[in-house]
Structure formats: C-alpha cells, structure tokens
Structure 1
Amino acid sequence: MTCETRLDRGRRMLDRIDGEAGRRVTDALEDIAPDFATYLFEYPFGDIMSRPGLDLREREIATVAALCALGTAENQLKVHIQAALNCGVSREEIVEILMQMSVYAGFPAALNGLMAAKQVFEDAPSGTFD
C-alpha cells in the first residue's frame, strides 16, 4: 500500500491545474528558495486545493476574485486566470468575475484584473484540459 505524501499530492494537483505555468514558478524558486517551492506544493496545492467541498473550477473562481481584489499579485493573477481556463471557467465568466470585483475591491483593481485577463487571453489557447 502506497500513501501519497502532501508533496506528491501537491505536485499532481499543481500540474493538473496550472500545467507548465505552475512548474515554471516552482522551477524559478529552485535557485533562491527551494524550500518555498516545496511549501507551495504542500500547503496550497497538496492541502487546500485537494480538499473536498469545492471542485477545481469553483476554487479557481475564488482564487481569481481574491487575487484581483488584492491588487498586488498581477503575476499570480495571470497564472490563476490561465488555471481557471484550464479548469473550465469561460473567458466570459472570468470577465464577469473581474467586473464584479469593481463593486467590492474598487475600479482600479477590476481594471487591472481585466487588463491581466486580456493579456492571458491573447497568449492562451482557447481550449481547456483536465
């Protein structure tokens, strides 16, 4: 009997959600903070994103909204906009999520989120994977 570790579960989940984009982020940490890359696999993806209760699509909707509202995480917002597309959230839904943030996070946050989405949409294939 083999038990999947938090690290293994996190790697599997990150690959499923973010594909190459997620792997590029963790690879970029290897020469400066390899332990942080491990934490990124284990906690957000191995523990939180792997929980029952919400599916990956719903989790990415929440993540896109939160990152947009923060207004200070453009790179992570772009990664999670792509992840949302990968998990079946449509471009139209992403635009609506970001527009919704204008009410709760302000117009600048929503505008910045929409500009990030525009860039992701221009760079991304239109399909999804699962």
Structure 2
Amino acid sequence: MTIQNTSSKESRLERGQRALEAIDGKAGRNVIEALADIAPDFATYLFEFPFGDIYSRPGLSLRDREIATIAALAAMGTAPPQLKVHIEAGLNVGLSREEITEILMQMAVYAGFPAALNGLFAAKEVYALREGGEEGASV
C-alpha cells in the first residue's frame, strides 16, 4: 500500500491529510486535535511534510515505512506517545503484532534493553487498547 499524488491538483496538505487518515486513522486525528489550541500551524506542517511529501513517495510501501518508523522511535527512547501512534499505524497498514514485537525485540541489539523494553510495553498498551475495542493511541 502506498499513498501517492492521485491528482495533479491535489496539494501537499490534501495528500498529507489523506495519507494520515489511511495510516493512522483515529490516532492521527487525536494528534492533530491535540495541537488545535496550541499550534494549529504545526498540524499543517505535519500533514504537508511527513505525510504529504515523505510518506507519499514511491519506493517503500506504507508497511515498510512503518517498520522503519517503529524501529527509529523505539531506538530513540524519547518518544513513547509517538511510538504508540506508529505501532497503531503499523497494525493499520498490515503489520502483525508478532512482527511489531520482533521489531521491538531487535532494538535490544542496537539500542539497548531499556529501549526494547520501553517499546514492548508501549506495544502491550496499544494491543490492550485494541482488544478493548478502543482504536487510536492518544498523544
């Protein structure tokens, strides 16, 4: 699955909004809504650059992009809310729980056990929310 410009008239903002909805669903909307009262322009930047430009490029599927994103966020160890959003996104674009768990376990080798543990606990929380019928990790 890829998100590319389907119309020469589609703006970066429109393409980014479409991509965010396809990838993150409710979790993405939660992030945008949380920015509304503090930095609405930043929400526009999120739509345009990461989703309208980068996620919409050919070359990698959305699934592959989420593997890279989950690994990077877990390795950083400083972005648990964003990691949860992207674990949710990974599930939305076809990653299985087992694959996400393996990605996070792999981080123990390159980012250390604390990063892997934090990632696994973030995944556990997302999985539990999904089992409870609540989709979309919060900010």
> What range describes the TM-score normalised by the shorter chain of this pair?
over 0.9
Match 1:81 to one of 76, 87, 99: 87
Q: CA deviation at 1:104?
A: 0.4
**Structure 1: which 4+ aligned runs deviate by more than 6 Å?**
none
Match 1:47 to one of 25, 42, 53: 53
Q: CA deviation at 1:27?
A: 1.0
Q: CA deviation at 1:125?
A: 4.8
Change in 2 beyond 3 A, CA 1:52/1:90: same
Match in the other structure for 2:19: 13
Match in the other structure for 1:30: 36
Give the AA of the match of 1:106: G
Q: CA deviation at 1:124?
A: 1.2
Q: CA deviation at 1:88?
A: 0.3
Hey, what's the Cα distance between the residues in 2 that align with 1:13 and 1:2?
16
Q: RMSD of the alignment, in Å? A: 1.4
Hey, what's the Cα distance between the residues in 2 that align with 1:124 and 1:16?
17
Gaps of at least 5 residues in structure 1 are: none
Q: CA deviation at 1:2?
A: 5.9
Hey, what's the Cα distance between the residues in 2 that align with 1:82 and 1:6?
24
Aligned residues: 126
* TM-score normalised by L of structure 2: 0.88
Q: CA deviation at 1:91?
A: 0.3
Change in 2 beyond 3 A, CA 1:125/1:11: farther
* TM-score normalised by L of structure 1: 0.94
Structure with the larger RCO, 1 or 2 (CA within 8 Å, 6+ apart): 2
Structure 1 residues 30-81: Cα deviation after superposition (integer angstroms, max 9, x where no partner): 1100110000000000000000000000000000000000000000000000
Gaps of at least 5 residues in structure 2 are: 1-6, 133-139
Q: Are 1:56 and 2:67 counterparts? A: no
Change in 2 beyond 3 A, CA 1:2/1:93: closer
Hey, what's the Cα distance between the residues in 2 that align with 1:124 and 1:39?
29
Match in the other structure for 1:119: 125
Identity %: 71
Change in 2 beyond 3 A, CA 1:115/1:47: same
